[in-house]
Amino acid sequence: MWKIFCAASPMQKSQGITSSHKRRVPRSTYQNGQKKSELKKKIFIESKEMDFSQFISDINKKAANFRTLTDRTLPVKAGNVAVEHFRDNFRQGGFVDGGLQKWKPSKRLSSGSKSAAGNRPTLMSERDLLFSDIKKTTRNGEVIIHTTETTQDYAAVHNEGLRSGRGRGFQMPKRQFIGDSKELNDKIENLIESELSKI
């Protein structure tokens, strides 16, 4: 529509519009005796109306994209970032929150054993059940990071440093691997900013 406005605008006559450009305007426009100024005003108004309609359409599209981002895309991507962040705690042997907070090493690491099992990092095992059991569940606009029934008997014991064993049991050293983390929050903020810039 802006091209039509430019071609028909009397303002561009002084800029060297040729007769061939003028013929783009229907003859009935001149036959009806409509003044060029009125034609300009009419086309200008139509252009503005279409421009406003396009603006509203763009806003609605961005709003729809924003809803999709917050309801579906971000929960999945943020969940993936969080799962990887918490699993990396196992690789580093501690909880990352304002720096690495090292775990108390497992007793087997000081046993002098040369076996593979005796030298695996703290909280890591042959099947790495706890490491692999960090999962995400996404819902509309949110994501939950959790462990499952597979490790329910000892996940919280390690993460919170609870008592374990039969009878009076013993106090398990706290080796947190899931929880609030400044570094994770920074990663999520960067993710959000990156995704928002695409809308």
**Residues 72-119: pLDDT tens digits?**
999 999 999 999 999 999 999 999 999 999 999 887 655 666 655 556
Q: What share of the chain is helix, strand, coil (3-state, %, to 5)?
A: 55, 10, 35
Is residue 193 predicted with pLDDT exceeding 70?
yes
Other CB atoms closer than 10 Å to residue 2's CB: what's the count? 10
- Model pLDDT, residue 55: 80
Q: Any bridge partners for residue 137, and if so which? A: 144
- Alpha-carbon distances of 110 from 77, 122, 153, 166, rounded to whole Å: 39, 11, 25, 25
Distance from C-alpha of 111 to C-alpha of 159, rounded to nearest angstrom: 24
Q: What pLDDT score was predicted for residue 164?
A: 87
Measuring CA to CA, which residue among 157, 185, 10 is closest to residue 82? 185
Tell me what pLDDT residue 41 has.
Answer: 65
Task: Give the model confidence (pLDDT) of 136-161 as tens digits.
Answer: 999 888 999 999 999 988 899 999 99
Question: Predicted confidence band at 126 (pLDDT cuts at 50, 70, 90)?
Answer: confident
The CA distance from 82 to 191, in Å, is: 11
Nearest to 109 by CA among 124, 87, 94: 124
| Residue 155 CB contacts under 8 Å (≥ 6 apart), including other chains | 130, 133, 147
Q: Quick: pLDDT tens for 29-76.
A: 444 545 566 666 666 666 666 677 888 888 889 899 999 999 999 999
